[in-house]
Amino acid sequence: MSGKTAQGVSLEGIYRAHYAFVWRSLLHMGLIGSTVDDALQDVFLVVHRRLQDFEGPCMRSWLYGIARRVASDYRRGAKRAITRVSTMADPDVHPSPHGVGTRVAAASMVQQFLAELDDDKREVFVLTEVEGMTAREIADMLGINANTVSARLRAARLKFARVMSREAAREAGNRRRA
Amino acid sequence: MTWDSDIMAQSALEAYRAELDESITQPEQNWERVVSRVAADSYRPPTAWAARRRILRRILTIGAIVLGVLGVVGVVGLVAVGERAEQAKPAFGDSAQTIQRYRRSQRRAVRHRRHSSATPYTDATSSHE
């Protein structure tokens, strides 16, 4: 394993630093179960092959591009019609941030929201809200205009706010009744 | 978004991030498998010679196609020129062979005209009436 980038970063270094990011990205690209493990290994195999070619300033962008292609191959190859983001268990309950043990329910609400979102808006929303990337970084990474990223993000956030308002109103009603 | 729903959105996103991070499993096992797959990987990046060979093969293929098309066009053109030359009226001083070829083509043309303008058989008695 002698492969290193021009900056002298080894495959293991990249793996340790970006394992979680690649994992989350593959999940958000619609892969499920053990497919994520296989795809993740494929991503790092491609990284090993192309390590010498990496010159860009942002390792995450490069990894995300590879993960996108690998996930696309997996979806096409396996002919799986995965349209929902399925990352966790899906308990059918309404969450409350005040309750005990409601984290899973709150997370599943976000998951459900993401599943109903368009692919392009979901990608931008996740990269911003989960990965903490800026609009400029996302634009460079996806090869689209920064204004497009902002527009998609605005639309996704608006929808998210509507979902949250609805949940807050439901929660307030439940408290009044109790 | 109201203050309540804003707080709720933030906490929901935090919960989602936390759940997502908890769903990440087996980094060590995956690393071991990556290492073994890298070791078994027979992939070699294409060398300069391989790239040159590929380009040469492509040039040869395109060249063969172009030559084939030119050959077909050339043969068709030569046949057309030959036919036209046969039908051209010989000039003074042309060889006996050229004159003979011209006459032969003329006879052929007359035969062809006669054959193509032949009227179908009609009953003579019925036409009189």
Burial bucket for residue A74 (CB in 10 Å: 0-12, 13-18, 19+): buried
pLDDT, tens digit, for every residue of A20-79?
A: 999 999 988 888 877 888 999 999 999 998 888 787 778 888 999 999 999 988 888 765
In our burial notation (b when 16+ CB lie closer than 10 A, e otherwise), range A145-159 reads eeeebbebbebbbeb
Confidence at residue A83, expressed as pLDDT on a 0 to 100 scale: 47
Tell me which of B47 and A2 has the higher pLDDT.
Answer: B47
Determine the length of chain A.
178
Mean pLDDT, chain B, integer: 82
**Do residue A87 and residue B23 have CB atoms under 8 angstroms apart?**
yes
If DSSP codes are grouped into helix, strand and coil, which group holds residue B94? Answer: coil
Between positions 28 and 57 of B, the ones with CB within 8 A of A are 30-31, 33-35, 37-39, 41, 43, 45
A94 or A109: which carries more pLDDT confidence?
A: A109
Q: Do A103 and B18 touch (CB under 8 A)?
A: yes
Give CA–CA dist B56/B44, Å, rounded: 21
The angle formed by the CA atoms of residues B42, B46 and B50, to the nearest 5 degrees, is 125
In this prediction the ipTM stands at 0.73
Nearest to A171 by CA among A111, A118, A109: A109
Instruction: Indicate which of B19, B21, B29, B41 best probes the interface with A, i.e. most A CBs within 10 Å of its own CB.
Output: B19
Helix axes A146-177, B3-23, angle to 10 degrees: 110
pLDDT tens, residue by residue, A115-148: 888 889 999 999 999 888 899 989 988 889 999 9
The model's pTM is: 0.61
Chain A contacts of B45, Cβ < 8 Å?
A: 49, 52
Q: Cα A107 vs. chain centroid, distance in angstroms?
A: 14
Q: Which residue's structure tokens are 């030359």? A: B85
- Which of A65-74, B44-53, B67-76, B86-95 is the most confident on average? B67-76
Give the Cβ contact number of residue A53 at 10 Å: 11
